[in-house]
Amino acid sequence: MATEAAQQLIAALTRRRASGAVVSADEVVAALDRQLDAWNVTRVVLADDPLLEQLGVADALGGDRREVLTWPPRLGARELLGLEGPAATCGVSVSVAAVAPRGTLMLAASTGQGRALDAAAAYHVSLVPDDRLHDSLAGALGQVYREGPPPSALSLVSAPSRTSDIEKISTLGAHGALGLHALVIAG
């Protein structure tokens, strides 16, 4: 069941020119590393989330190939937006929930995961444990808003940044992330 929902999520995201994969917990770091290489990312901003810590993501991604920062990254807005420092940055978030049939990831703002983390960076990878997949938007929103105080911001992300404002043809990379990749963690 969970795998089917995960496949649905990835298929819907792929239709909107994002990408994704279903991986086991052991495979997350390698999959993330491959995706960052594919985008030539030189700076990563990780959410300060227990899941990423548990998977050892910060240590595994470091080294001389790229700089790894954790939220809050103590960067000014200009650096966060890539106007200064490396342009190929990637925000790595953890989704609090996701809607499988419509390919929607949900990022809740918190101390460890800022509102701008995914949209200010050039690229975005989100990790989604498969038990957080829902089959409807109403179900997912109900879970977030009824089980505890509402987050100051909940960002629903279903595509890379896109615009059809020039000649009505969809073009990627208007203001938010140019690339979006979801890693659904099975089991």
Partner 1 sequence: MSERPVSYEDVTGTLRERATEALGDEQLRTNLRASAGSWAAGRKRMDEQYPFQEMREKGREIRTRAVAELPQLLDQLEENLTATGGVVYRAADAAAACRYVVELAQREGADLVAKSKSMATEEIKLNEALEEAGLRVVETDLGEWIIQLAGQHPSHIVAPAVHLNREEVADLFEQESGGPVENEREALVAHARQRLREVFATAQIGVSGVNLAVAESGTICVVENEGNGRLVTALPRIHVAVMGMERIVGSWEDAAHILELLPMAAIGDDAAGYVNLITGPRRPDETDGPEQFHLVIVDGGRSALRGGPFEEILNCIRCGACLYACPMWKSVGGQAYGSPYSGPIGAVLTPVLEGPHASSAGQLPHFSSLCGACHEACPVGIPIHDLLVKARGQATEQRPRSERVGMWLWSRLWSNPVAYGIGRRLARAGARVLGRRGWIERLPGPAGAWTSQRDVPTTWPPKPPSS
81 forms part of the interface with partner 1 (CB under 8 A): yes
Q: What are 98's strand-pairing partners?
A: 105, 133
Nearer to partner 1, 31 or 106 (CB): 106
Q: What are 26's strand-pairing partners?
A: none
Give the footprint of partner 1 on residues 34-73 (CB under 8 A): 71-72
Distances (CA, A) of 165 to 82, 119, 160, 170, 176: 23, 19, 15, 8, 15
- Considering only residues 1, 54, 111, 131, which one is a binding residue for partner 1 as defined by CB under 8 A? 111
Q: Please name the amino acid found at residue 39.
A: W
155 forms part of the interface with partner 1 (CB under 8 A): yes
Which strand (E) or helix (H) includes residue 162? strand 162-163
In contact, 2 and 186? CB cutoff 8 Å: yes
Binding mask 124-143 for partner 1 (x = CB under 8 A): ------------xxx--xx-
Nearer to partner 1, 82 or 86 (CB): 82
119 forms part of the interface with partner 1 (CB under 8 A): yes
3-state secondary structure (DSSP) of residue 6: helix
- Candidates 27-35, 39-47, 61-69, 154-162: pick the segment binding partner 1 (CB under 8 A): 154-162
156 forms part of the interface with partner 1 (CB under 8 A): yes
Q: Which residues of 63-91 are buried (b: 16+ CB within 10 A; e: fewer)?
A: eeebbbebbebebeeebbbeeeeeebbbb
- Site residues (vs partner 1, CB under 8 A): 12, 16, 71-72, 76-78, 81-83, 99, 101-104, 109-111, 114-116, 119-120, 136-138, 141-142, 145-146, 150-169, 171-177
